[in-house]
Amino acid sequence: MSNSHYRWVIVAAGGLLGCVAIGGMFSLPVFLKPMAQETGWSVTGISSAMTIGFLAMACTSMAWGTLSDRLGPLPVVLTGSTVLATSLALASQAPSLLAFQLIFGVMVGASCAAIFAPMMACVTGWFDTHRSLAVSLVSAGMGMAPMTMSPIAAWLVSNHGWRTSMLIVSCIVAAIMIPVSFLVRRAPALANDHASAVSGNGEPAMSRSQALRSPQFIILVATNFFCCATHSGPIIHTVSYAITCGIPMIAAVTIYSVEGLAGLGGRIAFGLLGDRFGAKRILVLGLLAQAFGALGYVFVRELAAFYAVAAVFGFIYAGTMPLYSVLVRENFPLRMMGTVIGGTAMAGSLGMATGPLAGGLIYDTFASYTWLYVGSWAFGLGAFLIIMMFKPFPAVRTAAVAAPA
């Protein structure tokens, strides 16, 4: 009974940790224009810090996930929370663009990676029924960042310099994330290591190397890369795009908030649909819709039109993201959830890394973001075509890799 109740505490903790962590990292798009104006650093140079951050997430996601498999999620999440707060504080005092890129990019990116994969792996282990909904609720918490942390960052930078604002954000991160980390617990199903390592009929379960070489893993990795490359540019650059269309910054940031609010509904809706109709079927449809949602930004210039496209696009792209973890849980052993989810997160981070730099280069070259959104549409179609090739493990093999939940 206590485990049944506490699993929802894990969901709440994961959602809050994800919200604050993502909010801390994604405060940079809000600071982008003020930083460029105050320092003289180029938009491309500042945006590159996000690219470096996503690369750092990619390089560390599997390592953090494997550590959480071996040590449990608490020490990993606590370490990530502490390093994230520290790195934001250091980045706020960066004396040069290069120093900012390295501190914000490497340290913030690596510390955020310590939150996502370990928490997603942890939550999937706590749930047998309603798994898609649980994972989607954690993801919904992460999606709250545009409605909470971004407006706070926008208010701060409108009343203070970007350095003071980023320092205050680091204090908020520390005050919330470090205490909440202590609520995280390893899934009870992992208490029986033998049951996790051996199938019910006595056959050895899938090894980690077999999992990482399987077509199922490779397809999920490739899909997540193209999926995240689809929405990376629109997420990072739409606020700046709206400003170039003559929309004031405070109003432009609300577009980001509308996208986040729609995404909150999307994550929950897609989670419920995934539980009812199957995660793969809903993911396929979502990826196709996401491609055309990104293309919609090409045709908007007014605030109301931005709101409409942001609502549709946010609902779709946010809804698809939790379904990857559900597919992983359905096809791979529980004892290696951190590693496998970390692998898909690595691919997603690489996909996210394409947006900041590409968008900055496109704008600096053409003084327009049109080709960014066209490129996002092409990546979205690629994600749809790849996931169509995904086939779950055969029933016999699935039984062999299933772990108690």
For residues 325 and 341, the answer to whether their CB atoms sit within 8 Å is yes
pLDDT over 60 (residue 273): yes
pLDDT over 80 (residue 165): yes
Cα separations in angstroms, 125 against 131, 149, 203, 262, 295: 9, 29, 22, 27, 37
**Across 380-395, average pLDDT:** 88
User: According to the model, what pLDDT value does residue 192 have?
Assistant: 54
Q: What DSSP string describes 320-355?
A: HTHHHHHHHHHHS-GGGHHHHHHHHHHHHHHHHHHH
Q: Confirm whether 188 is domain-assigned.
A: no
Query: If you average pLDDT over every residue of the chain, what do you get?
Result: 84
**Greater pLDDT, 202 or 46:** 46
* Tens digit of each residue's pLDDT (9 = 90 or more) over 2-21: 566 888 899 999 989 989 99
Q: For the chain, what is the domain count?
A: 1
* Tens digit of each residue's pLDDT (9 = 90 or more) over 284-305: 999 999 999 999 999 998 999 9
User: According to the model, what pLDDT value does residue 308 have?
Assistant: 94
**Greater pLDDT, 219 or 393:** 219
Find the angle CA(366)-CA(369)-CA(375) to the nearest 5 degrees: 105
- Distance between CA atoms of 87 and 282, rounded to whole angstroms? 37
What CATH number is associated with residue 34?
A: 1.20.1250.20
User: According to the model, what pLDDT value does residue 146 have?
Assistant: 67
pLDDT over 70 (residue 202): no
pLDDT over 70 (residue 197): no
Q: Confirm whether 193 is domain-assigned.
A: no
Q: Confirm whether 12 is domain-assigned.
A: yes
Q: Tokens 């020490």 map to which residue?
A: 75
135 closest CA partner among 14, 303, 30: 14
86 band by pLDDT with thresholds 50, 70 and 90: very high
User: According to the model, what pLDDT value does residue 195 have?
Assistant: 43
- Distance between CA atoms of 304 and 144, rounded to whole angstroms? 21
pLDDT over 70 (residue 404): no
Range of the domain at 51: 2-181+203-399
**Greater pLDDT, 132 or 17:** 17
Q: Confirm whether 38 is domain-assigned.
A: yes
- Percentage of the residues of the chain whose pLDDT score is greater than 90: 31
- Which range scores top for mean pLDDT: 85-94, 184-193, 343-352? 85-94
387 closest CA partner among 317, 253, 292, 287: 287
What are the residues facing 204 on neighbouring strands?
Answer: 198
- Distance between CA atoms of 242 and 139, rounded to whole angstroms? 26
For residues 25 and 53, the answer to whether their CB atoms sit within 8 Å is yes
176 band by pLDDT with thresholds 50, 70 and 90: very high
- Which range scores top for mean pLDDT: 8-17, 181-190, 325-334? 8-17
pLDDT over 60 (residue 30): yes
402 band by pLDDT with thresholds 50, 70 and 90: very low
**Across 341-369, average pLDDT:** 82
- Distance between CA atoms of 232 and 290, rounded to whole angstroms? 12
pLDDT over 60 (residue 201): no
In angstroms, how far apart are the furthest CA atoms of the chain? 66
Q: Confirm whether 160 is domain-assigned.
A: yes
Q: Confirm whether 104 is domain-assigned.
A: yes
**Across 250-265, average pLDDT:** 84
What are the residues facing 198 on neighbouring strands?
Answer: 204
Q: What residue ranges in 187-304 does DSSP mark as E strands?
A: none
Q: Confirm whether 380 is domain-assigned.
A: yes
Q: Which residue type occupies 176?
A: I
